[in-house]
Structure 1
Amino acid sequence: MPAADTDRPRPKSVDPKNKVFALIRSRATAGPLEELAAKRKNIHIVVTDMSNPRKLDEAAAEVAKVTGGSLDVLILNAGSAGPETSTLPPSAFHGREDALENEIHENIKNNLLSNIYLVNCFLGLVRNGVEKKIVFVSSQCGDVEFTRVTGLATLLGYSVSKAGMNVITTKFGAELAQEGIKTLSMSPGWVNTDAAKAVTGDPEIRKFMLNAFHKIDPTVEGPISVDESVTDQLQVIQNLTEADSGKFLTHHGNHDEWF
């Protein structure tokens, strides 16, 4: 990806000089992505398994063939909200210890371990890149103060895994700083994705979430669009410097504007 201009960033695939790689589990469920890739030949779809380091090594090798062995920005966007028990608060797991272990383990596996695998498998390409940036798409749920103020007691495993990966991202930043590699954890905001619609589309759940979020920001009315979130995130990534490496920021590039 080339150095960004001074205007608000556009989706990177808009510029044909950029090479964009999308790692997915299956092409069978990637209809919209397939349509976009058919229009923009600089989008490359790579099928892999985030939980399998060998498969990720193969994916990195596939990317390297296209880029000549380098990658400017690695964005860790894969994740899962975990099993159905995500709707339970911690005390509800008393007497359900097996469910608690599954709640924690599934989220740690999907949202933390898999991302460590991904970084390690692609690190050689990032080392050869120009921008040398690793960005983890985190969540407000991984922030202690956000949880404390909103009083959101559910999404236990998801929150733990996001908070844990925030620390891991900082650890990578500390380890790789001398190589000029910068890392960042970033909340995308409350975004109107398909996954969010499946949850907050329910009027009662939406009302509950708004009541909680209003404790942080009384002006929030609902989720922002995917385009708005992505544009804001790209701005933060564009502005990432060594001074901010290892931090956990919002999509506005600060510590408190979560929406």
Structure 2
Amino acid sequence: MVTGANRGIGLEIVKQLSRGGMLAVLCSRDVEKGKQAASKLASEGLEPPVVALDVTDDASVANAVAEVMHLFGRIDVLVNNAAIQREGMTAEQASVLDVAPELALEVFNANTLGPLRLTKAVVPIMRQGGYGRIVNISSGAGQLAEMAAGFPSYRMSKAALNALTKVTAAELGPSPIKVNAMCPGWVRTDMGGPDATRSVEQGAETAIWLATLPDTGPTGGFFRDKTPIPW
């Protein structure tokens, strides 16, 4: 299951996982946009199933997971990609002293609680199946080691997502389920803008690696370009 997969990095992750032979489910809040995105992959012979999913809605999460289980009977990989950035890519000087708590809650609900909802829903399934990979698409903007000014809601939500990654990995311990976070870098997407320095292919590469880790692979880590980075 790849959330927020009707465009950008999410769609690229679906494409690359599908190319690798995995049945990647394209999850989209707007199912029609999801179907339109899936149709773009038809030229490669790829036909990812599309499932409606709003990560901010408990019922939508439950319904999406139930639909995938009804169709395929298992969930091996969860990529928590869906996210929002409400402060605008030009608002680099947006101050934490000015941010509306309501906006921060909206961003936190999507970027942190969304992955929490999905993680809670799929871990029992992964435990039953004896295998699991959870990939949280985070950001260098959430690194405490390099925290800077601007984008306070987005930064706080991604820092909290990193905490969720560490807590989940610690609770699952040396189980067959691996939980990691990654930073795609500044990617040319609707969120990143046309001036970003990285392609969607580059942005998705580490997520693909983490989604297909061998049993000896890491858990509880934060990565960029397949290399550990500070929290």
Common topology (TM > 0.5): yes
**Counterparts of 2:25 and 2:103, CA distance in 1:** 31
**Structure 1 SS opposite 2:110:** helix
Are 2:126 and 1:126 aligned?
Answer: yes
**Counterparts of 1:236 and 1:196, CA distance in 2:** 22
**Counterparts of 1:28 and 1:67, CA distance in 2:** 21
AA paired with 2:38?
Answer: E
**1:83-126 Cα distance to aligned partner (Å, 9 max, x none):** 569931224x2xxxxx5312321211111112111111222332
Partner of 1:62: 67
**Structure 1 SS opposite 2:50:** strand
**1:11-67 Cα distance to aligned partner (Å, 9 max, x none):** 11124x421111111134346513135454551100122112222111111111232
Q: Alpha carbons of 1:238 and 1:253: their partners in 2 closer, same or farther (altered >3 Å)?
A: farther
Q: Alpha carbons of 1:166 and 1:61: their partners in 2 closer, same or farther (altered >3 Å)?
A: same
**Counterparts of 1:77 and 1:224, CA distance in 2:** 17
Q: Alpha carbons of 1:242 and 1:165: their partners in 2 closer, same or farther (altered >3 Å)?
A: farther
Equivalent pairs: percent with the same residue? 23
Q: Which runs of 5+ in 2 are unaligned?
A: 2-14
CA shift at 1:181, angstroms? 1.5
Partner of 1:234: 208
Partner of 2:75: 71
AA paired with 1:134?
Answer: I
Provide runs of 4+ in structure 1 moved above 6 Å: none
Are 2:227 and 1:253 aligned?
Answer: yes
AA paired with 1:156?
Answer: P
**Counterparts of 1:114 and 1:236, CA distance in 2:** 19
TM-score (norm. length: structure 2): 0.80
Q: For 2:167, which of 166, 171, 175 is the aligned residue?
A: 171
**Counterparts of 2:90 and 2:115, CA distance in 1:** 20
Are 2:25 and 1:21 aligned?
Answer: yes
**Counterparts of 2:212 and 2:188, CA distance in 1:** 23
Give matches, 1:21-100, under 5 Å: 21-30=25-34, 32-36=36-40, 38=42, 40=45, 42-68=47-73, 70-83=74-87, 87=91, 88-91=94-97, 93=98, 99-100=99-100
**Greater alpha carbon shift after TM alignment, 128-137 vs 104-113:** 128-137
**1:156-176 Cα distance to aligned partner (Å, 9 max, x none):** 010001001110111111111
Q: Note if contact 1:103-1:156 (Cα within 8 Å) is conserved in structure 2.
A: no
Q: Note if contact 1:182-1:240 (Cα within 8 Å) is conserved in structure 2.
A: no
RMSD (Å), alpha carbons:
2.7
**Greater alpha carbon shift after TM alignment, 179-188 vs 27-36:** 27-36
Q: Alpha carbons of 1:173 and 1:188: their partners in 2 closer, same or farther (altered >3 Å)?
A: same
Q: Which has the higher helix share?
A: 1
CA shift at 1:245, angstroms? 1.2
Q: Note if contact 1:83-1:106 (Cα within 8 Å) is conserved in structure 2.
A: no
**Structure 2 SS opposite 1:120:** helix
TM-score (norm. length: structure 1): 0.72
Partner of 1:210: none
Q: Note if contact 2:136-2:182 (Cα within 8 Å) is conserved in structure 1.
A: yes
**Counterparts of 2:67 and 2:80, CA distance in 1:** 18
Q: Which runs of 5+ in 1 are unaligned?
A: 2-9, 94-98, 207-221
**Counterparts of 1:84 and 1:189, CA distance in 2:** 17
Q: Alpha carbons of 1:84 and 1:239: their partners in 2 closer, same or farther (altered >3 Å)?
A: closer
Q: Between Structure 1 and Structure 2, how many residues are aligned?
A: 214
**Counterparts of 2:89 and 2:201, CA distance in 1:** 31
Q: Note if contact 1:20-1:42 (Cα within 8 Å) is conserved in structure 2.
A: no
